[in-house]
Amino acid sequence: MIRVQRKFKVIKANSLKDLEKDVNELIQREYKDTEGFLYRASGRWQCLGGTFTDRDNWFQSMVFIQQEE
């Protein structure tokens, strides 16, 4: 399988608890493409680095990694 980075995003939340909820929701979901004609793929969101704060907001960078056959 080949690993390919497809997307990148930064999650922003007002509190650490809200950030944790949003990040866990993305991590637990798996995306599968089994209808492809040339290949099959599955992908997941993963954390990229640690959380950081800027005054009243918390941030977490995320990357979408897809594995293709």
pLDDT digits (tens, 9 = 90+) for 19-30: 999 999 989 887
When divided into structural domains, the chain yields a total of 1
* Any domain includes 13: yes
The confidence band for 44, taking pLDDT boundaries of 50, 70 and 90, is confident
- Domain of residue 19 covers 2-64
At 15 the pLDDT is 94
Q: Which tokens go with 6?
A: 């497809």
* Any domain includes 11: yes
* Any domain includes 69: no
Buried b (16+ CB within 10 A) or exposed e, 38-58: eeebebebeeeeeeeeeeeeb
